[in-house]
Structure 1
Amino acid sequence: MKMLFDFFPIILFFAAFKLSGNDMIVATQVGIAATFLQVAIHWLRHRRFEKMHLITLALISVFGGITIYLDNPLYIQWKTTILEWVFALAFLGSHYIGKDNFVKRMMGKALTAPDSVWAKLNFAWVGFFTLMGFINIYVIYNFSQEAWVNFKTFGMLGLTFVFIIAQGVMLSRYVDSNQVDSENNDKVE
């Protein structure tokens, strides 16, 4: 359910693009409104903001606003690259700032792995986000707007899932089956 909530602005952007006859300005307006709605709903439900939602809101407001004002879709297309690179920098910075990098902070409670593994996974995310930013630029300048919207909606999501699965396979050797069994037994009782 959380994943659907996190992706609903993208889904609405895609739907607005298709339903408006491939009008990027309409899709951008819907994307901005959906992102504001996402942040507001999250605040009302949890009384806190998620950093990812706020970063996305800031970027879509700025780049989407420029897109609408100048009637030039290129700015909203570049927002995706900027967001990917912001994430890459954040993951990179987390390796040098703080006790644990982002990957270990997110998954360290569920798995026990050597610090070298957490570092490799964190740097893999840095590389992944950086590469995704460059792929987005390639698609922007070598394909139609419709192809870019399809890539943004399905291609980037699909590549992200493949990357997550690959990391899951790598991390699977660090899952403690005794811990999983005891957690399952606790749920049964």
Structure 2
Amino acid sequence: MTEKPVAPAVKIGLELGPVFLFFVGYITTRDQTFVIAGTEYTAFVLLTAAFIPVMALATFVLWRLSGRLSKMQLVTLIMVVVFGGLTVWLNDDRFFKMKPTAIYGIFAILLGIGLLRGQSWLQLVMEGALPLTHEGWMVLTKRLAFMFLAMACANEIVLRNFSTDMWVNFRTFGLPVALFAFFLTQAKLFERYKSSPD
């Protein structure tokens, strides 16, 4: 399928929409429990069950509109299905809460492997988005690998020491804001290592 441009607002809506819907659903039903076929489920577990097909549908629509999916999007979808499925099957919300740890941990490891090989695998994924020299890509990859590792550790700390309410807020707002802030702080790097005057 040929790659096609997608309006940024549509792309962001498809990528963040499922997370926002999960947050709204949790806020409105968090104190409720439901009995299905004799088994009691929390709202969190049932929302996880709903989140899996919503995420899959959003990813499919994005693929149909753009003609491609990044490796990060595919890994994220796989993790949602695996950890979300375990949460529903075992009726244990800890598995879904561990998903960000696994995703960020995998990204950190993959970027680290590339660095050990003298390569920036981040450049392979994002080269069209940022005009950087090879050295710039290597520096950014190293910093982002450490950032992903820090985010994985932060998720583990929150999920194991705080309430579900706290984790949902942290996952919905804290992690995305941290990643956004990270890229904002890289302005000097982008300026120093830009590969073209434009």
Per the normalisation by structure 2, the TM-score is: 0.79
Pick from 117, 133, 139 the counterpart of residue 158 of structure 2. 139
Tell me by how many angstroms 1:96 deviates. 4.6
Q: Higher helix share goes to which structure?
A: 1
Aligned to 2:48: 28
Call closer, same or farther: CA 1:179–1:171 in 2, change over 3 Å. closer
* Structural RMSD (CA): 2.4
What are structure 1's unaligned runs of at least 5 residues?
A: 181-189
Tell me by how many angstroms 1:164 deviates. 0.6
| Number of aligned positions between the proteins | 178
Call closer, same or farther: CA 1:58–1:139 in 2, change over 3 Å. same
Tell me by how many angstroms 1:107 deviates. 4.3
Aligned to 2:58: 38
Aligned to 1:15: 24
Instruction: Report which stretch shifted further, 68-77 or 20-29.
Output: 20-29
Aligned to 1:121: 140
Cα displacement string for residues 71-105 of structure 1 (whole angstroms, at most 9, x for unaligned residues): 11000000110011111122223335586431476
Instruction: Report which stretch shifted further, 59-68 or 11-20.
Output: 11-20
Matches of 2:180 and 2:13 in 1, distance apart?
14
Pairwise mapping of residues 1-189 of structure 1 onto structure 2 (< 5 A)? 1=9, 2-21=11-30, 23-96=43-116, 100-103=120-123, 106-107=126-127, 110-113=130-133, 115-175=134-194, 179-180=197-198
Call closer, same or farther: CA 1:175–1:157 in 2, change over 3 Å. same
Check whether the contact 2:136–2:194 (CA below 8 A) recurs between aligned residues: no
What are structure 2's unaligned runs of at least 5 residues?
A: 1-8, 32-42
SS of alignment partner, residue 179 of structure 1? coil
Aligned to 1:187: none
- Residue 161 of structure 2 aligns with an amino acid whose one-letter code is N
Check whether the contact 2:76–2:103 (CA below 8 A) recurs between aligned residues: yes
Percent identity (aligned): 28
Per the normalisation by structure 1, the TM-score is: 0.82
- Residue 73 of structure 2 aligns with an amino acid whose one-letter code is H
Matches of 1:112 and 1:62 in 2, distance apart?
35
